[in-house]
Amino acid sequence: MKPNYTKIYHDLLLEEYPEKLKDVKVRELLQKLNTSDEVIKFNEKIFEQSKESLENNQKLRTYDKETMLKILMYQKEHGFSSSYISKKYKISRTTLTKWKRICEEDLQ
């Protein structure tokens, strides 16, 4: 079962930052939280993070299969190297290789 990111973030904002819920753009973004990629982007836009917390959070990120495929398809369509994608999305090359193995059938 997939987490309801919209409800989770709505409750979080309601509790901690109710003023942010008044912003129309924030409410629109909140309704579009379906994949882990969208959650990460939403989190970066809404909450200010220190460099230290960004580094620590990167170690704990998880990606759903839909997001993995999106990143791998982007790489394949544009012919980018694993090193480039690794730097762009802050994902190790080892992780990208693992994803390619996991998503091999879906990529073809």
The tokens describing 1, both together, are 């079962």
Grade residue 36 by pLDDT with cuts at 50, 70 and 90: confident
The tokens describing 87, both together, are 């730097």
pTM score, whole prediction: 0.55
**How far is it, in rounded angstroms, from Cα 75 to Cα 79?**
6
State the average pLDDT for the chain.
85
* pLDDT tens-digit series, residues 45-89: 887 766 666 565 666 677 888 889 999 999 999 999 999 999 888
Domain extents in the chain:
5-60, 65-107
**How far is it, in rounded angstroms, from Cα 47 to Cα 79?**
33
Query: Could you tell me the sign of the dihedral formed by the alpha carbons of 14, 20, 22, 26, in that order?
Result: negative
Q: What is the pLDDT of residue 44?
A: 80
pLDDT at 31 > cutoff 80: yes
Ranges of H-type helices in the chain: 5-16, 24-31, 36-46, 51-60, 65-78, 82-89, 93-102, 104-107
> Quick one: what percent of the chain has pLDDT higher than 90?
29
